[in-house]
Amino acid sequence: MSIVLMAFLGTAILFQGQTFYGKRKSGYFETQEDGAPFGYYVPRQINAGQNLRYPLVVVFGQQTTNANQWRDILGKDDLIIVAIQPKMGGTWTLPTDIVRVLSKVDYMKKMYPIDPDRIWAVGYGASGNIALLLAINHPESFRAAATVDSKVVNTIVSGGDTGDGSFVGTFDFRNDSARHLPLLLIDFGEGSSVSKEDSKKTREVLEQYGYPVTYQSLKGYSEYPTKSVIHQMYDWLRNQGK
């Protein structure tokens, strides 16, 4: 067997299960960028030459496998998912992670056929706080947000790579109703990590500035989103903007 043929077979085995289209990958994969991992799920049919535009779900959390979790639970091949972790030791920071997230969304829009009217931010707990912050402050990048056990009041965010300590996160609420995003806020009732007072204040502040808020309090769920909650979030997201 020639050296060239052996090299070709070795390459084929190495990349088995991954589809490439130029520099684009499909399937589930992970990358390490700027000192933090990203997880992706990209439909394989994206390389079939179909003239389709796909929703982009940006999952804020502590695990890159959130991308594959969403794909496995939903069982759908008509959306692109990217899971973003905080860079600094599991703690979300400003402005470092804000810049990373916005750069990643811009990159995904350039590399993949994404529908700009269906880019959604989702997150749980403190990561949901950041998802809300990004969606509110950057409506040019996101079209809706759905979070679990998250808030926009009394939110502590690290001050960045060289910042001293922490500070209460600030939110640039928009008065222009044309820029308002629909928001879904879910909490686990008595098991929620967000106090009833903060949950109520969050809804009041958002509604005061004209944000259309859908609020749901669920009972009997664990701390982390179950399959039914992820389905619930996705069903709500895909009905926005219709």
3-state secondary structure 173-214: CCCCHHHCCCEEEEECHHHCCCCHHHHHHHHHHHHHCCCCEE
Q: What residue has token string 């529908």?
A: 115
* pLDDT tens digits for range 143-155: 999 999 888 887 7
Q: State yes or no: pLDDT of 20 exceeds 70.
A: no
Q: In terms of pLDDT, which residue wins out, 15 or 98?
A: 98
Residue type, 71: R
pLDDT (0 to 100) of residue 161: 43
Residue 95, pLDDT score: 77
Q: Specify the pLDDT at position 46.
A: 84
pTM: 0.84
Give the separation between CA 189 and CA 195, rounded to whole angstroms. Answer: 9
Which range, 1-5, 90-94, 116-120, has the best average confidence (pLDDT)? 116-120
> 208-240 pLDDT, tens per residue?
888 899 998 887 666 567 888 899 999 999 998
